[in-house]
Amino acid sequence: MTTETVPGKRDTRKRTPSPMPFPDSRRLRLPFRLKAGRQHHAGPLAYFLLILAAVTSLFPLYWTMVAASTDNTRVTQTPPPFLPGPNLFKNLAAAWEDAAMGKALTNSFIVAGTIAVATVLFATLAGFAFAKLRFRGRNILLTLVIGTMMIPPQLSVVPLFMMMSDLGWGQRLPAVIFPTLVSAVGVFFMRQYLVEALPDELIEAGRVDGAHSLRIFWSIVLPVARPAMAVLFMITFVHAWNDFFWPFIALDMNNPTIPVALTQLSAGYVRDQSLIMAGALLGTLPLLLMFVVFGRQIVGGIMQGAVKG
């Protein structure tokens, strides 16, 4: 039975939309072609460059060990020795006693550890505020923070020294720790990381659930920021460990850090190069040991953050 449409009347029948034709796969042209199962192998040039970079990085440490294991006459001769000598432990013991390395190592661990922990905490808090919070004057404050990186640290030596003396911290470890608890570089680094790695949807979801800013920071920001925090901790710790300029001014020889203590080995008219290298080796071993113990966790955190980002 066929139905005819009466002229002059509106057709009220429900029309079923025709399905969209599925495009022919042969007509699809992708801008690229994926080749599954293809593996890229490094060529001889890549291996040569990697070996050259490894030798260039490890040779200074090897030369330090060679110089620390010989006597002063062999270190200064031409050509210099390239194989370790028999006096390594003797020179290490002499450097330990002459430079008070035990006290210096303790002070360096206290200074570098405190500065690294405080810098990571404050930089993560400030980076989260500059990256995800909306408040008046945010861009101006961020510009001021970045602008402080342009000021040479030598300009603040005299005011800092007078301030530490007025506080009664002269020749003491707080004079080295407190001026460097906050790092503008760390704030900018964490801010840039959180802008890329932390989606705004996570912050909004926390707000919907009734979480305040500190709760969001503890439950959402910290898990995302752990890779960057690990990197910032290592960089700050190594920088504080190797810092010489301000600790040399703020501390005396009775309460030194590692770089300040090494100056005692170079004092005098005749410098014992093997003794200086032994002291430098003692100051480097804790950093190497730390990286050997925690290197896998740090590299894994960096790779995890790179994949998430």
Secondary structure of the chain in the HEC alphabet?
CCCCCCCCCCCCCCCCCCCCCCCCCCCCCCCCCCCCCCCCCCCHHHHHHHHHHHHHHHHHHHHHHHHHCCCHHHHCCCCCCCCCCCCHHHHHHHHHHHCCHHHHHHHHHHHHHHHHHHHHHHHHHHHHHHHHCCCCCHHHHHHHHHHHHHCCHHHHHHHHHHHHHHCCCCCCCHHHHHHHCCCHHHHHHHHHHHHHHCCHHHHHHHHHCCCCHHHHHHHHHHHHHHHHHHHHHHHHHHHHHHCCHHHHHHCCCCCCCHHHHHHHHCCCCCCCHHHHHHHHHHHHHHHHHHHHHHHHHHHHHHHHHHHHC
Residue-level pLDDT at 196: 86
Residue-level pLDDT at 52: 93
Residue-level pLDDT at 303: 64
- Distance (Å, rounded) from C-alpha 81 to C-alpha 70? 9
Residue-level pLDDT at 151: 87
Both tokens of 216, joined, read 């969001």
The average pLDDT across 193-204 equals 88
Residue-level pLDDT at 302: 62
Give the tens place of pLDDT for each residue, 30-43. Answer: 444 445 445 556 67
Give the tens place of pLDDT for each residue, 155-189. Answer: 889 999 999 999 989 889 999 999 999 999 999 99
pLDDT category at 206 given cuts 50, 70, 90 is: confident
- Decide if 221 contacts 203 (C-beta within 8 A): no
Return mean pLDDT, the chain. 82
The residues near 81 (Cβ < 8 Å, ≥ 6 apart) are: 66, 70, 74, 75
- Decide if 99 contacts 279 (C-beta within 8 A): yes
Q: What is the value of pTM for the model shown? A: 0.78
Give the tens place of pLDDT for each residue, 232-274. Answer: 998 899 999 999 999 999 998 888 999 999 888 877 666 788 8
- Distance (Å, rounded) from C-alpha 92 to C-alpha 96? 6
Residue 135 has pLDDT above 70, yes or no: yes
| CATH superfamily of the 60-70+87-308 domain | MetI-like (1.10.3720.10)
Residue-level pLDDT at 290: 82
pLDDT category at 143 given cuts 50, 70, 90 is: very high
- Residues comprising the chain, all counted: 309
Residue 20 has pLDDT above 70, yes or no: no
- Distance (Å, rounded) from C-alpha 274 to C-alpha 241? 22
pLDDT category at 8 given cuts 50, 70, 90 is: low
